[in-house]
Amino acid sequence: MDKPARKRGRKAKNATDAEPNPNSTTTATTSTAPAAETVVASLNAASDTTTTDRRGSKRRRKAGKGKDDDVAIVTSPERRTSRYSEHNGDYDVTTVVPEVPPRWESVGKVVPSMDAVVKVFCVHTEPNFSLPWQRKRQYSSSSSGFIIGGRRVLTNAHSVEHHTQVKVKKRGSDTKYLATVLAIGTECDIAMLTVSDNEFWEGISPLEFGDLPALQDAVTVVGYPIGGDTISVTSGVVSRIEILSYVHGSTELLGLQIDAAINSGNSGGPAFNDKGECVGIAFQSLKHEDAENIGYVIPTPVITHFIRDYEKNGEYTGFPILGVEWQKMENPDLRMSMGMGNEHKGVRIKRIEPTAPESNVLSPSDIILSFDGVNVANDGTVPFRHGERIGFSYLVSQKYTGDKALVKILRNSKIHEFNIKLATHKRLIPAHIGGKPPSYYIIAGFVFTAVSVPYLRSEYGKDYDFDAPVKLLDKHLHAMAESVDEQLLVVSQVLVADINIGYEEIVNTQVIAFNNKPVKNLKSLADMVESCNEEFLKFDLEYEQIVVLRTKTAKKATRDILLTHCIPSAMSDDLRS
């Protein structure tokens, strides 16, 4: 036979149910207001222990409490009084002091540094490398950034590349402020902005930088990725620290790998440690069918190098390199043949950049034993932190352009030491052109231009390293510039006209010489053609191909071709000076 339902307000028959436990009540009511983090944890714990009584109403119980124990209800201050009055005498309200309500304003400021994270809006107008006399259609993008000291904002370089207009908006604001780009570090993918409007800086505290995190340290990435308009927070841990390939700058610098999601729009946002300090900038992620949640962060050593470089020189000068290609010395027979004893460790120099300052003192087959007093291992690594090693190029990247470094080498079984001045890398095919429009020169419909990585990407797509001609790729990967102003020139296309009949199929073909004189760069080619008084213009191209044009006829036809294709000038502005 079923028991009759107990009427509302009637005391329980069991005496233990009628009187609350005074000890548990006193313990719960004498506690002080918890910190913001504790409140959040309490709210989460309460939501995880929700139970349903026989009347169907949901009541939250503290973890570890029994069914017959008192329940401490975490609720809003407005509803707390009504919850106590619902028991109609079950509790002695004269002896129970309600728990101090949580301070919701402190809960909302668990990570106060998020107020320094801004949203960056940029209008880009990219150059057209295939038609270098014009630009592509403009487009807009949004990314993230954050405020640092000195009324400055940091974001990614690719977020403001080829910018026409840049605006920033603070968290919780409806106003976009015009920003000025102070410096762009393409190699390290960092850009520095500032805002002239004083209103933008009101009530904002700049972020502080923390130390380089260790493996398994927790990190929180904050930004404005796709999927919404408000700020987004993702968390993870540091899973790897090593020399990474920076896609935008085609360089290799120190980087952090994390397992937090980094999506489009997160670029430029800060990564925080558990102390609320900025330990990096989100900048790229790995998209692969066999990989999930692999994101990359620019660490503080690279960020501080960029900032100090700008403060020291008034502009970004870049990261120096040693300017050598080296070979591991792990084979014992190879070490013996190079005169290395058991006490020697290092790497062998294969080639030296002709434009590098150290080309005057170092030689191929020299063994680099140490750099600035740090011994280099046979695999090219140096001690990094406890239990970690890293490529010795990290030591070079910590220097600034123009700094000197002590390099110890082994040459013919003798040890030598040199103080070498470090400089930036001069590539025959540069990874970028510094945001400038591409150079070009046109004669008789032949469009001459200098090859760069953006040009290859424009001509052959993002997979240019597979689709571009083999000779261009070989130059890109292995060729070294003999002088600082040397360029690799090609005939990018031929604008068809009567004068160039039979040459229409020449596309992306390297120029070797003009009138039997080697071509050094685009400006020298333009000067030689414009000042030519010989009867013919002769261009020597690769694969033993030549182009011959009558000088007077070619120069006259150029004006008509420019008019037909609406080209403003036969050469870019940088070639006129």
Angstrom distance (rounded) from CA 181 to CA 434: 13
305 as an active site residue: the answer is no
**3 state SS of 38:** helix
Angstrom distance (rounded) from CA 88 to CA 11: 9
Angstrom distance (rounded) from CA 450 to CA 430: 10
Selection from 160, 178, 168 nearest residue 123 by Cα: 160
Give 39's DSSP letter.
H
Phi, psi dihedral angles at 286 (to 5 degrees): -100, 120
- Give the number of other Cβ atoms within 10 Å of residue 446's Cβ: 25
- How many angstroms from the chain centroid is the CA of residue 329? 33
Angstrom distance (rounded) from CA 107 to CA 433: 48
- Give the number of other Cβ atoms within 10 Å of residue 541's Cβ: 17
267 as an active site residue: the answer is yes
Angstrom distance (rounded) from CA 228 to CA 539: 56
Report CA Rg, the chain: 34
189 as an active site residue: the answer is yes
* Residue tagged active-site, from 267, 439, 492, 524: 267
Give 355's DSSP letter.
T
Is 244:255 a contact under the CB 8 Å cutoff?
A: yes
* Residue tagged active-site, from 70, 143, 158, 425: 158
Is 500:515 a contact under the CB 8 Å cutoff?
A: no
Q: Which 3-state string (H, E, C) describes 57-121? A: CEEECCCCCCCCCCCCCCCCHHHHHHHHHCCCCCCCCCCCCCCCCCCHHHHCCCCHHHHHEEEEE
* Residue tagged active-site, from 124, 142, 162, 189: 189
Residue numbers annotated as active site: 158, 189, 267
